Amino acid sequence: MKNLSLIQLFEQVKSRNPYETEFHHAVEEVLNSLEPLFEVEPKWLKSGVLERIVEPERLIHFRVSWVDDGGIVRVNRGFRVQFNSALGPYKGGLRFHPSVRPSIIKFLGFEQCFKNALTGLPMGGGKGGSDFDPKGKSDGEIMRFCQAFMSELYRHIGSDIDVPAGDMGVGAREIGYLYGMYKKLSNVHAQGVLTGKSINYGGSLVRTQATGYGLVYFVENMLKDKNEDFKGKRVIVSGSGNVSIYAIEKAQELGALVVACSDSNGTIVDERGLDLALIKEIKEIKRERIQRYCDVHPNAIYHADSSALYDVACDIALPCATQGEIQIEQAQQLFKNGCRFVAEGANMPSSLEAIQFFLSNDVYFGPAKAANAGGVATSGLEMSQNSLRLNWTFEEVDQRLHAIMDQIYVQAKQTAIAYKDPNNLVMGSNIASFKRLAEAMLAQGVL
Ligand code: NDP
Ligand code: 2IT
């Protein structure tokens, strides 16, 4: 960062949000890449928009008390950040993971504002969650926790106010329990209040697949620009959750050889190509460890280390697990082993240093807020179907998702070209989304 007022603003963000390193990272990345815009359009620096954009409109922090199967009272923390409503109702997922704290929720909420702007749909930015750890909990405990969480959250959300969805640790099962409790407390069957619902009570087809499929549609565009495609490419995917599974599925469908994935305990490498039906059974149905893969495929190799994934040679790397998984060492390792495309299915998996390394070594890089926007975009399509009280077919939703991902790529690429750094999709995405958001904020006055 060279511009003095940006430096001062960033210093202020750091001192107002002490120790919130993930939030600082997200803000720094955006401010950094907006500099070329401000050189051409300095009006934004004096508009007051930047000072407001880094400050959430509202941050809700609440106690969640529930009783476990042993009759013991447990207390967790719940959060919802309602970051920016200039473009529409707050929209963004809920994360249940022990690492959840204000810095995590704020970085995710901040990113979400820009991501949602890129989709072109009328959605503001929000995020929420809890430090509740769903691992090892019974179905009854998950249900009671979700009910306790919603017993506070319900007063803050609504189809035209704030529309949560899933994120890590929150899938269709949790959304079902949350929705049931919302309905009971509010006495309203307002389907548009949550997305990621099951199909039989207002969910959208393709929402389950959307983030992974969308990521692969985005990478198809990146490859096309270099006159390449997925056929025969070696791909590695971190994680083995919702985003990873459907990224693997679509990449395989397009002819890629996906050789490795992981979970928080370790990495699986299967040189013959991953058996996705087995991964779905282990992770979606049995909720077990990825290591079980080797019980069925003894030829596959298991490393008891998640970051071993990044030692596997590949053409394309898709980090789809969590923030911070690609530090400079992993970036260098990927490059050394011949990786030429990296696209982020997870939110903020790459450190700033790693991103800089990719950009300066000609590794074509697709940043999270563009590459993983397919999930929230399809949530937007679910909201549309709920308002219409209609269900679109799988093909119709998939086509719309595909068109949105293509359109996000074009925006990011054309903006990168316009600001004379054609392969910098980080800058392209940040400038394009900032302009949409900032113009809406300016039009609505100082609030
Ligand atoms: P899930 O909870 O379904 O899956 C998360 C996966 O990541 C699990 O396999 C988990 O393993 C693994 N994981 C967690 N920590 C690590 C780690 N340190 N190293 C390796 N693997 C790890 O979450 P999602 O798939 O929904 O979300 C994944 C990422 O994608 C998150 O960053 C999320 O914010 C982002 N995202 C999600 C969207 C969605 O629609 N769901 C939309 C856009 C982005 P384990 O089972 O061991 O915990
Ligand atoms: O990070 C994300 O974009 C999500 N977890 C999806 C949010 C949503 O509202 O579908």
| 291-339 tens-digit pLDDT | 999 999 999 999 999 999 999 999 999 999 999 999 999 999 999 999 9
Q: Are 54 and 13 in contact (CB under 8 A)?
A: yes
If you measure from the C-alpha of residue 386 to the centroid of ligand 1, how many angstroms do you get, rounded to a whole number? 27
Quick count: other Cβ atoms within 10 Å of Cβ 138?
10
Point out the ligand 2 atom lying closest to the alpha carbon of residue 163.
9
- Establish whether residue 240 lines the binding site of ligand 1, counting it when its CB lies within 6 angstroms of any ligand atom: yes
For atom 43 of ligand 1, the residue with the nearest CA is 372
Point out the ligand 1 atom lying closest to the alpha carbon of residue 244.
25
The set of protein residues with a Cβ atom below 6 angstroms from ligand 2 is 91-93, 112, 115, 165, 167, 195, 347, 375-376, 379
Point out the ligand 1 atom lying closest to the alpha carbon of residue 115.
43
Q: How many CA atoms lie within 13 A of 312 on its CB side?
A: 30
Give the pLDDT confidence score for residue 193 in this predicted structure: 98
Q: Identify which of 167, 195, 320, 382 to mutate to test ligand 2's pocket (most ligand atoms within 8 A of the CB).
A: 167
Q: Identify which of 280, 322, 325 to mutate to test ligand 1's pocket (most ligand atoms within 8 A of the CB).
A: 322
If you measure from the C-alpha of residue 399 to the centroid of ligand 2, how many angstroms do you get, rounded to a whole number? 19
Point out the ligand 2 atom lying closest to the alpha carbon of residue 196.
10
Which structure tokens are listed for 202? 């207002």
Q: Are 149 and 79 in contact (CB under 8 A)?
A: no
Amino acid at 70: G
CA-CA distances (angstroms) from residue 243 to 88, 222, 396?
Answer: 25, 19, 21
For atom 10 of ligand 2, the residue with the nearest CA is 376
Please report which ligand is nearest the Cα atom of 196. 2
If you measure from the C-alpha of residue 383 to the centroid of ligand 2, how many angstroms do you get, rounded to a whole number? 13
Note the pTM of the prediction, 2 decimals: 0.98
Residues identified as active-site? 127
Give the pLDDT confidence score for residue 424 in this predicted structure: 98
Give the pLDDT confidence score for residue 175 in this predicted structure: 98
Point out the ligand 1 atom lying closest to the alpha carbon of residue 379.
40
If you measure from the C-alpha of residue 93 to the centroid of ligand 2, how many angstroms do you get, rounded to a whole number? 4
Give the pLDDT confidence score for residue 200 in this predicted structure: 95
Q: pLDDT under 70 in the chain at which residues?
A: none
For atom 27 of ligand 1, the residue with the nearest CA is 168
- Establish whether residue 241 lines the binding site of ligand 1, counting it when its CB lies within 6 angstroms of any ligand atom: yes
Give the pLDDT confidence score for residue 311 in this predicted structure: 98
What are the structural domains of the chain?
58-189 (3.40.50.10860), 210-362 (3.40.50.720)
For 292, counting Cβ atoms within 10 Å of its Cβ (0-12 exposed, 13-18 middle, 19+ buried), the class is middle
